[in-house]
Structure 1
């Protein structure tokens, strides 16, 4: 008996009924038209997304961690977002983590059958020693994945904050999570293929959650990623360009300042603006919880 046919993500899209008869250009145009729904879905969840950002930021300030958990495409998107936080925001790898049903091997080889085991999701919470300061974000496009529901239930029992992300309305699939983010984008162009619009809107939501959280944690100055980890040529160039833009130094002096700071853009900027040495800059930043703007303002008051 089919118990999923009523779900929005499983329904047939009338706009793509003749998909196999479209010209290539018509096919591309249809994707473009349908993807407008992702923007509308994000707008519809703006309050819940903002609440989630504040919840995550508060928890991380208290020493907690952020975990994404899911199966298939949803889980892979969580792993991707987590993996991008260290190079973008210089966060320790353990601060934001992605848990995928089936583990690392499922990143490249489908193991969707594992999504049906709720106890595995609960076990993942135990394995990662989820606690009261942690936040667990369960991601499931169709909203029914037992692995995710098992994780959410176990995380709540362990005192963690929980967030649920799905692309179906709450009246189709309920959740016990503290924050319930719904991103209904309508039936997929390819019926049931939730790696399409549902995957796109999920990626958008995760971008907003992680970036918004890092802004709240002081990883950003203006709209610059001043906590960038300078680990390769591209990121070195980005760091130097930021310093040049914000200090009006030429490239050579920007490079000297960056090296003197221990390759910390925030420390380099604070050293330049307040004329303190690296040790003092690091101390001021620490006193201001890594917030560059408040660190600069604190020196004006002293």
Structure 2
């Protein structure tokens, strides 16, 4: 019974992530549907059992041009980041690229016998390129830790939408450019307008982009979905390449608290941390009346 439920749940979660319909109102409805057929306590018990056989790692992207801009002055707050085309989806800096190589050396040394089964990467260029420079040596040889992993771009791991720096490039650029460059499967990113949060009609350089800042409840909803899919998959060793606000949300901190993770840093998301997040958010977003 439990195995049948887990297979069905995994299939539903995967279908949702791969679909073209990702608006937050639909995520709310989808999460409510998951409560049908299993009690809250039973679901949490299943999750706990599955996590006994999982190892989940989190990597924050390396320094981007936005991070560099923030560090130039204590007055450079996100609200002052210019809402223009050239500031969309900032690239890694030279320092950021070097950070990925330092992380690569650290992974090779400290995690010599680790081999990931799956890697899920935010579709923003700073995250995709962090994975690429980390996973591949200068001769384009992939390091052992990622050699056998399936690598997928997943927009459920994108940054909290706050500035135009959190808006992604076009779907074509992400799929045909960034993902192909680093051999990343782009099957999970099928909707341009949703994950970019951008209106494309009559958009010209220098115009203000219409966007809505995300609150942490919205991030929680998409993280529940991707975490449950990971938990009920057959993969044992999983890596998430994402952003500081995603890590902050997973650690149940609010937007004003420190995220406690540096650029190009890898941390383990242990069972206790994941269970704490899901025990707090599942009643709120799935079983709430």
Bigger helix fraction:
1
- TM-score between both structures, scaled by the size of structure 2: 0.32
Q: Work out which structure has the larger RCO, using CA pairs closer than 8 Å and 6 or more positions apart in sequence.
A: 2
- TM-score between both structures, scaled by the size of structure 1: 0.31
Report which of the two structures shows the higher radius of gyration computed on alpha carbons.
Answer: 1
